[in-house]
């Protein structure tokens, strides 16, 4: 029997950028994967380049992008918490933790992916990560999943040490890139730059693609 994996992130695209390879690998090896997305990224600054979104259309666009990205990764179970972008830090932490607890209690994951509390780059990252840890802490110790946390602050190594897991995701590179492209409103410009760089410097193709083929995680100790 495979693992039961739940990825808990605040925005559409968080499940893909820097983590999509791990999720695609889980699917490839027969694990069951659920993505939990807390908001629809309504307040994101990127609206496509050239622009094709606005504040009114953004939630619907990003929901469709999330579904398309998860499809590219092979993930079929996507849950929405219905919170509002850039407001998670102002929510009642117990309420948010309770929403997450209901999901982990239902699914009984063996592994959870989220941000490392205090080492996201957005208040939503940290607020949702803290709520996730708070929810997991409510479980009996022998039922708690292993937490694979993403740390993306500049001082992550000094504060958290070297990553516990350095994951080679080159075997699912195509799936990860497809998922990144699916988040078109957020990624189109950067994807075009990467493709242009490869076209201009084909001899550097492996070097340009290399950052997307490795993912790093810290095992967060829930106590």
> What is the CATH number for 52?
3.40.50.10320
What would the mean pLDDT of 47-59 be, rounded to a whole number?
Answer: 64
C-alpha dihedral, 179 to 180 to 181 to 185, nearest 10°: 120
CB 148 within 8 A of CB 22: yes
Secondary structure class of 34 (helix, strand, coil): strand
> Does the pTM of the predicted model rise above 0.85?
yes
Indicate the number of domains in the chain.
1
User: Is residue 84 within 8 Å of 124, Cβ to Cβ?
Assistant: no
* Cβ atoms within 10 Å, residue 198: 16
Separation CA 186–CA 13 (nearest Å): 8
Between 175 and 53, the more confident residue is: 175
Rounded to an integer, what distance in angstroms lies between the CA atom of residue 56 and that of residue 183?
A: 17
The confidence score (pLDDT) of residue 2 equals 87
pLDDT at 109: 98
Share of the chain above pLDDT 70, in %: 94
Residue 156 CB neighbours (<10 A): 18
Q: Read off the pLDDT of residues 143-173 as tens digits, 9 standing for 90 and up.
A: 999 999 999 999 999 999 999 999 999 999 9
- By three-state DSSP, how is residue 153 classified? coil
- Tokens found for residue 117: 């509390």
Tokens, residue 175 = 């799936």
Taking residues 179-191, report their average pLDDT.
Answer: 93
What's the pLDDT score for residue 58? 85
Query: What residue ranges in 74-164 does DSSP mark as E strands?
Result: 77-80, 111-115, 146-150
What average pLDDT does the chain have? 94
Report d(CA 151, CA 18) in Å as an integer: 10
User: Which domain, by its residues, includes 160?
Assistant: 4-220
Please tell me the least confidently modeled range out of 66-70, 112-116, 170-174, 188-192.
188-192
pLDDT at 47 over 60: no
How distant is the alpha carbon of residue 2 from its chain centre? 21
Q: Per-residue pLDDT for 56 more than 80?
A: no
Asked if 183 and 190 touch (Cβ cutoff 8 Å), the reply is no
pLDDT in tens, 102-131: 999 999 999 999 999 999 999 999 999 999
Q: Tell me the average pLDDT across 80-97.
A: 97
């Amino acid at each position: 029997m495979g693992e039961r994996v739940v990825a808990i992130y605040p925005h559409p695209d968080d499940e893909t950028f820097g983590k999509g390879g791990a999720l695609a690998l889980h699917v490839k090896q027969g694990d069951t994967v659920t993505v939990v997305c807390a908001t629809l990224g309504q307040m994101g600054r990127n609206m496509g380049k050239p622009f094709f979104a606005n504040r009114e259309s953004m939630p619907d666009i990003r929901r469709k992008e999330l579904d398309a990205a998860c499809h590219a990764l092979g993930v079929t179970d996507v849950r929405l918490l219905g919170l509002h972008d850039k407001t998670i830090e102002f929510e009642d932490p117990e309420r948010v933790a309770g929403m997450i607890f209901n999901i982990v209690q239902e699914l009984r994951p063996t592994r959870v992916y989220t941000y490392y509390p205090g080492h996201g780059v957005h208040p939503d990252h940290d607020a949702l990560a803290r709520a996730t840890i708070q929810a997991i802490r409510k479980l009996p110790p022998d039922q708690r999943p292993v937490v694979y946390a993403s740390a993306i602050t500049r001082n992550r190594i000094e504060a958290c040490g070297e990553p516990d897991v350095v994951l080679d995701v080159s075997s699912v590179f195509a799936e990860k890139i497809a998922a990144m492209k699916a988040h078109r409103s957020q990624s189109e410009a950067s994807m075009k730059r990467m493709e242009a760089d490869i076209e201009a410097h084909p001899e550097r193709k492996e070097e340009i693609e290399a950052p997307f083929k490795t993912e790093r995680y810290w095992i967060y100790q829930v106590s």
